[in-house]
């Protein structure tokens, strides 16, 4: 991890602590393992994928280790003493977590403040959630069944067309404005759409192979948008979320160079 490198002495200490923790404290061993990886050349993204943890959790491990080495890293604020919530309040929190998806500890902290008028730090809330039996796991994508041959044909045809297309011909990549399971929605083939295409002979629909968002350039824009509006950000309510979305698109010109680079082509074939 950039800016965090373990010395030989620190590495020896961590490995010994990990060996001991494996026997009696799996959670502590997990934290130590993460710190060892981050301090020996692994990138944050690699450790996230390997251990299925989020940025926030991994950075908190580093902060704790820097603060007080192994002892502070593996210490749990809630072991050996009651939490700030009463038993009935903990039961209510459990019920809330079972019924509502909270995407970050900040969201849970906000709920606890509103319901119980008690304030937790992010590390404190993580410890409480761990004690209650919860932990963050990065969800895995469930792959569809992409047709590799169809993808390769599309890329070949697209690149060939772009090389010889008339200068007054535009190529637009579009996406649905609502969640869909498959981009080949039936309304794309509806009578109304077909009649509209007849009235505009220069407009032609070219459909991507199924399960191939990697071939849709607009998906790169959505990824860039999510990185700037959603990732590691907590929106307390829909109004806050809406304002952030509008602000991004109103000021999209300031990202012109980065977006232009993203849209420059170069497709990756998806095999899973």
**pLDDT of the chain, 272 residues: tens digit per residue:** 778 899 999 999 999 999 888 877 888 888 999 999 999 989 888 888 888 888 878 888 888 898 888 888 887 654 434 458 888 899 999 999 888 878 788 889 989 999 998 888 888 888 889 888 887 666 665 556 778 888 999 989 998 998 999 988 988 888 765 544 455 556 666 788 888 888 988 888 888 888 788 888 888 888 888 888 877 677 777 888 888 889 999 999 998 888 888 887 677 776 66
* Contact indicator for 147, 61 with CB cutoff of 8 Å: no
Say what the pLDDT of residue 265 is. 64
Region class of 266: left (phi > 0), else alpha (psi between -120 and 50), else beta? left
Instruction: Report the alpha-carbon distance of residue 176 to residue 78 in Å, rounded.
Output: 47
CA dist., res. 213 & res. 220, Å (int):
9
Question: What's the chain look like in SS3?
Answer: CCCCCCCHHHHHHHHHHHHHHHHHCHHHHHHHHHHHHHCCCCCHHHHHHHHCCCHHHHHHHHHHHHHHHHHHHHCCCCCCCCCCCCHHHHHHHHHHHHHCCCCCHHHHHHHHHHHHCCCCCHHHHHHHHHHCCCCCCCCCCCCCCCCHHHHHHHHHHHHHHHHHCCCCCCCCCCCCCCCCCCCCCHHHHCHHHHHHHHHCCCCCCCCCCCCCHHHCCHHHHHHHHHHHHCCCCCCCCHHHHHHHHHHHHHCHHHHHHHHHHHCCCCCCCCCC
What pLDDT is recorded for position 191? 81
Q: Which residue has the tokens 């629909």?
A: 205
For residue 191, give Cα distances in angstroms to 72, 125, 194, 196, 208: 66, 54, 5, 9, 20
pLDDT of residue 142: 57
CA distance 69 to 71: 6
Structure confidence at residue 232 (pLDDT): 63
**236 phi and psi angles, rounded to 5 deg:** -65, -35
Q: What is the pLDDT of residue 210?
A: 81
Residue with tokens 């083939």: 189
pLDDT at 179 (0 to 100): 45
Q: What is the pLDDT of residue 212?
A: 83
- Write down the pLDDT at residue 81: 41
Give the pLDDT score at 82: 45
Contact 36, 6 (CB under 8 A): yes
Are 116 and 88 in contact by the 8 Å Cβ rule? The answer is: no
Please tell me the predicted confidence (pLDDT) of residue 138.
61
pLDDT of residue 80: 38
pTM of the model: 0.44
Q: What pLDDT does 183 receive? A: 52
Q: What integer pLDDT is reported at residue 52 of this predicted model?
A: 84
């Amino acid at each position: 991890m950039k800016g965090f490198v373990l010395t030989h002495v620190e590495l020896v200490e961590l490995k010994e602590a990990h060996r001991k923790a494996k026997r009696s404290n799996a959670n502590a061993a997990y934290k130590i393992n993460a710190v060892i990886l981050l301090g020996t050349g692994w990138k944050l993204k690699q450790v996230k994928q390997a251990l299925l943890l989020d940025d926030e959790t991994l950075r908190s491990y580093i902060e704790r280790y820097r603060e007080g080495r192994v002892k502070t890293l593996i210490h749990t604020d809630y072991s050996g003493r009651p939490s700030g919530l009463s038993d009935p309040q903990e039961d209510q929190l459990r019920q809330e977590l079972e019924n509502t998806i909270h995407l970050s500890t900040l969201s849970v902290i906000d709920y606890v403040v509103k319901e119980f008028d008690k304030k937790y730090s992010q590390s404190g809330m993580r410890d409480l959630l761990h004690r209650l039996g919860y932990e963050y796991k990065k969800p895995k994508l469930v792959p569809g069944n992409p047709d590799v041959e169809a993808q390769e044909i599309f890329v070949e045809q697209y690149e060939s067309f772009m090389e010889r297309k008339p200068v007054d011909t535009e190529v637009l990549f579009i996406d649905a404005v609502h969640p869909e399971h498959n981009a080949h929605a039936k309304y794309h083939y509806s009578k109304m759409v077909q009649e509209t295409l007849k009235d505009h002979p220069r407009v032609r629909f070219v459909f991507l192979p199924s399960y191939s968002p990697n071939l849709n350039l607009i998906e790169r824009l959505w990824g860039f948008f999510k990185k700037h509006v959603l990732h590691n950000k907590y929106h307390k309510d829909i109004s806050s979320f809406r304002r952030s979305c509008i602000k991004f698109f109103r000021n999209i010109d300031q990202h012109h160079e980065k977006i232009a680079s993203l849209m420059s082509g170069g497709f990756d074939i998806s095999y899973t």
